[in-house]
Amino acid sequence: MQTSGSEMMRSAAIKMAQNNIMAGAVIHDAFLIIAPEDQIEKAFEITQELMAEASAEVLGGHPLKTDAEIFIYQERFPEPRGEAVWNMVQEFLEKHE
């Protein structure tokens, strides 16, 4: 399964580059895409379509569905497991500015 997953991500990344979608990071089985705020919705839709295409190619015609969220700068990904560390770092930064 991991081999199929990595092949889907590789294929999706190539398709994204061919469609001028900028991947700022690959995070395990996800992409962090970068686009101007007025273009993010379209880039988001295209990325999901390309990921479905890539999975269908790898899985013999069976596209996978993807979950996705849009975060606009200065929002951040809310990770409950990391909240305590985030708060500690923020307090440290405030004290040392």
Tens digits of residue pLDDT in 32-67: 999 999 999 999 999 999 999 999 999 999 999 998
Place of tokens 């970068």: 34
DSSP single-letter state for residue 20: T
34: Cβ contacts below 8 Å, ≥ 6 apart: 22, 23, 24
| Structural domain boundaries in the chain | 2-95
What is the model's pLDDT at position 1? 62
